[in-house]
Amino acid sequence: MGKRDSEKVFLSYASEDLKKVKEIYSGLTGRHLQVWLDKENVTAPGNKLPGAVTEVKNYLLTEKALL
């Protein structure tokens, strides 16, 4: 995995975890990581998963996102 790929993070969460996930997002972006969070990165209607996200190798899931 190249350095560039290792700096990309995809955040998946349940809606009730949004406040905590936004804190995590801020912390990761503050460390210059490329973080995808739907509330921050959706640019057009229906554009939920940009192509770059499919190349991400680091995923952070909240427990409730898995249920």
Q: Which long-range contacts (CB under 8 A, 24 or more apart) does 22-25 make?
A: 24/60
Contact 56, 9 (CB under 8 A): yes
User: For the whole prediction, is pTM greater than 0.85?
Assistant: no
Segment 24-35, tens digit of pLDDT: 999 999 999 888
- Measured CA to CA in angstroms, residue 29 lies from 35, 46, 67 at distances of 6, 24, 27
DSSP structural state of residue 49: S
Contact 9, 58 (CB under 8 A): yes
Segment 2-46, tens digit of pLDDT: 455 567 888 889 999 999 999 999 999 999 988 888 877 665 555
